[in-house]
Amino acid sequence: MPQLRTGLNHSRETGCTIRPNRLDVRGKFVTIRKHAYEGAMVDGISEDESHDAQTRPLHSHPRERTAPLLSPLERRPLVASVPALRLVGIRKRFGPRWILRDVSLDVGEGECVALLGPNGAGKTTLLRIAATVSRPDGGNIEVCGVDARKHPERARSFLSFLPQTAPLYAELTAREHLGWWGRMHDVAVGKDLVDAALVDAGLLKHARSRATALSRGQRQRLSLAMAFLPSPRLLLLDEPFAALDVEGRAWVEQRLMARRGLGATLVASHEPETIMRIAHRALRVADARVEAMA
Amino acid sequence: MSFRHALWKDARREMRGKEGVQAGLVLVGLFFVVFLFAHGDLSREPAAAAVVLWVPIVFAAAAVAGRGFAAEADRGTLDLLRSAPAPLVVHGVSRTLIDLAIGAIVMAGTVVLARFLFNVPVSVPLLVLLLVALVGIIVVGSIAGALASQARARELLLPILMVPLLAPLLLGGVRATLVLLDDRGSQSWGPAVMVLVGYDLVMAGLAWLLWPIVLEGD
């Protein structure tokens, strides 16, 4: 019975990224159990055990006890995976001004890519288009192989997006935000899982505080915790370090480092020193174009 | 599934904030205060009684329906909803149902005040008529509000979008109300209600088709 850790291998021969925990050594499909909360992956189990696994807890830790099985979408065998995000010929303009012109980029599975550039360069627009919340004037968007313009809901099931403004509802508490967002992403969020997310974000003592009672940094932490909660295949972050204190920045850095090799991340930031410690590569957005940085 | 969660979120927000109910009831209260200076007993004045019932309901329902997605747009949570893996129509229908619940509370307040302050003869057919009309007003108002929320001049755009669409409903509804209040033929209110039900169904169908387009990003 294979007991493979979650991780990605890159094949130099085929140029494809594979998820070894999805297939055992004989090529048999393996059902893995993944913790719903970002970065807490547990060992895979074989297909024979998958039924039993639904009825018994795997681990004694409360975070792991509530771990749901993968959704049917995630459970599909991924042998030779496509990029987590592929943008081809994206064009966008506001009025007469072109914000993005024929922008193409790939973000591979497990890859962390930084988007750098001056204010107004189009980083946020590019992220919003990738997150399918903004419609491009032309070009194609593929999220994990799904055409996002034809099947937006399916594409969104693979991604999680943190907008620039840390959007929260004034009437909902921190705990309610996490629970609601997890359920919207079809994650079985129990109290333990939400508690784990709150502890991780350093917000446990503010669990019952409404969003209006939180400071700007705490709101940013809560928004980040919401983005991390569904363990997305593609994470899109717009200025994740904004308004965070030193501890908060270290937390985000640690979380993004933990994602490397597990899920794709595209981060727009104005802090090149910080983001370049995390990212595999950086892209510069300027003059409506995107170009690779050395 | 996602509809249940969207509905839970909208209901929780309204129960905590109570902004919609408060805004609607304050509008109704102000109208009645002003109307009290001009009128007394309206039991024998069906035209004035119809005004007392319809004007606050239409204005309050429009105000309630118009603010739902405006708040989402202002707080930036519209992007959050758009990035959720749920059909966009789910958010529109959820918002419409919450607006309908608030509209029903405001309508109940209007009817009670009209009955006690102006002695308007309230009957079951009249309540059914108002409720059916309210559904149409809210369905149209919610989607017009969502459209207007993404525009700069949203206060101007909302009535421009709503009034032409609501014209058939208002025409039929007010005439049916006059017939009911005039006590000339209680048998003639049925067809009017059926026309309003038909209007509601058509608008609900159109709204279902339009929600994804209206809520899609720029």
State the pLDDT at residue B183: 66
> Counting every residue, how long is chain B?
218
Contact between chains at A128 and B79 (C-beta distance less than 8 A): yes
Per DSSP, what are the bridge partners of residue A235? Answer: A160, A265
User: Cα distance from B186 to chain A (closest Cα, Å)?
Assistant: 46
For the residues B148-172, what does the mean pLDDT come to? 88
Rounded to two decimals, what is the model's pTM?
Answer: 0.81
CA dist B20 and A239 (Å) reads 33
For the residues B153-163, what does the mean pLDDT come to? 86
- Residue B91 banded pLDDT, cuts 50, 70, 90: very high
State the pLDDT at residue B187: 59
User: Cα distance from A168 to chain B (closest Cα, Å)?
Assistant: 6
Give A193-257 as a DSSP string.
HHHHHHHHHT-GGGTTSBGGGS-HHHHHHHHHHHHHTT--SEEEEESTTTT--HHHHHHHHHHHH
Give A111-153 as a DSSP string.
-EEEEE--TTSSHHHHHHHHTTSS--SEEEEEETTEETTT-HH
Structure tokens at A157: 């099931």
CA dist B94 and B83 (Å) reads 17
Whether the predicted pLDDT of B156 surpasses 90 = no
User: Cα distance from B156 to chain A (closest Cα, Å)?
Assistant: 22
Smallest CA-to-CA distance from B23 within B51, B65, B55 is with B65
Residues in B touching A176 (Cβ below 8 Å): 12
Question: In chain A, whose CA is at the least distance from the CA of B215?
Answer: A133
CA dist A58 and B112 (Å) reads 59
Chain B contact present for A168, CB below 8 A: yes
Chain B contact present for A183, CB below 8 A: yes
Question: Across the interface, which of A157, A167, A176 has its CB nearest the CB of B77?
Answer: A167
pLDDT, one tens digit per residue, over A149-207 is: 899 999 999 999 999 888 999 999 999 999 999 999 988 888 899 999 999 999 999 99
Q: Of all residues in chain B, what percent carry a pLDDT higher than 70?
A: 97
Residues in A touching B69 (Cβ below 8 Å): none
Smallest CA-to-CA distance from B118 within B64, B169, B181, B170 is with B181
pLDDT, one tens digit per residue, over B30-61 is: 999 998 888 888 888 888 999 999 999 999 98
CB A160 within 8 A of CB A169: no
Whether the predicted pLDDT of B206 surpasses 60 = yes
Low-confidence stretches of chain A (pLDDT < 70) are 1-81, 294
Structure tokens at A134: 């903004």
CA dist A180 and B2 (Å) reads 10
Smallest CA-to-CA distance from B103 within B146, B140, B72 is with B140
Contact between chains at B8 and A180 (C-beta distance less than 8 A): yes
Chain B contact present for A36, CB below 8 A: no
Interface test with B, best of A146, A160, A175, A184 (most B CBs within 10 A): A184
